[in-house]
């Protein structure tokens, strides 16, 4: 695993135990707000990001910081996202679920070098599952190396974020999926969606938005376990490349199948 695996994992677990979980199902209305339509932030997101930034800056002082909440307040933070070493922080992924007092939600931390993912951590505070991946070094769950697997379903299972699509796009995808795929809802939590792909619960997931805090750790988890996460044109996911749209799959074979079918 990455040389910094243990100190980063311990920091994430500490933040989850001391900041995130005490607020779970314990938020007041004043502690929840909307950054944009259907895009929530809570006091726990803000406090978690502050603690993660402080801890990560001690672990690797030379790396810059890109946090979801800081970037929401100051979008110019993303201007240099593809330059140098950067910590990429999602203090609570799946905030809408967290704010509603239901799973799934998680904490995601990634490390990039000139936009290329180098290491990633995905933690589920409710069940204590820690996913980790290292560029060129494999993928791990709770310290054990694992390989991605397909669901084995008669029709590959595709998780689709329909709330980002127009009515015409939804209809077109439905037509393309007919008789070839089974469509399911996404969990609205990348910290859960990527493990679902790697562990064979879903076979394919389509992502319209590609914010770094949602995808750096997941991209490594999927690619290093033997699945595939790439742009629709087949190019690698690189932070700051200015592109949108991603396809993730539990195997390269299913990625190719989905890429041919789902060009939105």
Summarize the annotated binding site for Mg(2+) as residue ranges.
68, 90, 92-93, 214
Annotated binding residues, written as ranges, equal: 68, 90, 92-93, 214
Query: To 5 degrees, how large is the angle CA 81–CA 87–CA 89?
Result: 95
Q: State how far Cα 48 lies from the chain centre.
A: 17
**94: its two tokens:** 């799946």
C-alpha span between 13 and 91 (Å, rounded): 12
C-alpha span between 109 and 177 (Å, rounded): 33
Q: How far apart are the first and last CA of the chain?
A: 36
Question: Is there a contact between 17 and 44 (Cβ–Cβ < 8 Å)?
Answer: no
Handedness of CA 56, 60, 61, 64 (dihedral sign): negative
- In the three-class reduction of DSSP (H, G, I as helix; E, B as strand; rest coil), residue 203 is classed as coil
**87: its two tokens:** 């910590």
Q: Are strands 85-93 and 64-67 parallel, antiparallel or unpaired?
A: parallel
- In the three-class reduction of DSSP (H, G, I as helix; E, B as strand; rest coil), residue 191 is classed as helix
Q: Which helix (H) or strand (E) holds 108?
A: strand 106-113
């Amino acid at each position: 695993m990455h040389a910094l695996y243990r100190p980063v994992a311990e920091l994430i677990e500490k933040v989850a135990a001391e900041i995130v979980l005490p607020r779970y199902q314990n938020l007041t209305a004043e502690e929840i707000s909307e950054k944009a339509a259907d895009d929530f932030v809570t006091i726990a997101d803000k406090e978690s990001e502050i603690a993660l930034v402080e801890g990560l800056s001690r672990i690797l002082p030379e790396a810059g910081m890109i946090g979801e909440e800081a970037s929401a307040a100051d979008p110019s933070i993303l201007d240099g996202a593809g330059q140098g070493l950067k910590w990429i922080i999602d203090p609570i992924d799946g905030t809408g679920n967290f704010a509603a007092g239901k799973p799934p939600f998680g904490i995601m931390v990634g490390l990039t070098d000139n936009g290329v993912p180098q290491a990633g951590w995905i933690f589920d505070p409710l069940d204590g599952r820690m996913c980790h991946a290292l560029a060129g070094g494999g993928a791990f769950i709770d310290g054990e190396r694992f390989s991605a697997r397909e669901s084995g379903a008669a029709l590959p299972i595709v998780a689709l974020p329909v709330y980002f699509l127009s009515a015409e796009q939804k209809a077109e995808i439905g037509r393309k999926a007919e008789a070839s795929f089974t469509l399911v809802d996404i969990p609205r939590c990348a910290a859960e969606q990527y493990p679902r792909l790697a562990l064979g619960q879903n076979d394919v997931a389509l992502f319209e938005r590609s914010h770094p805090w949602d995808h750096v750790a997941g991209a490594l988890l999927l690619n290093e376990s033997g699945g595939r996460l790439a742009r629709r044109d087949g190019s690698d996911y690189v932070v700051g490349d200015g592109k949108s749209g991603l396809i993730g799959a539990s195997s390269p074979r299913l990625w190719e199948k989905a890429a041919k079918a789902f060009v939105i």
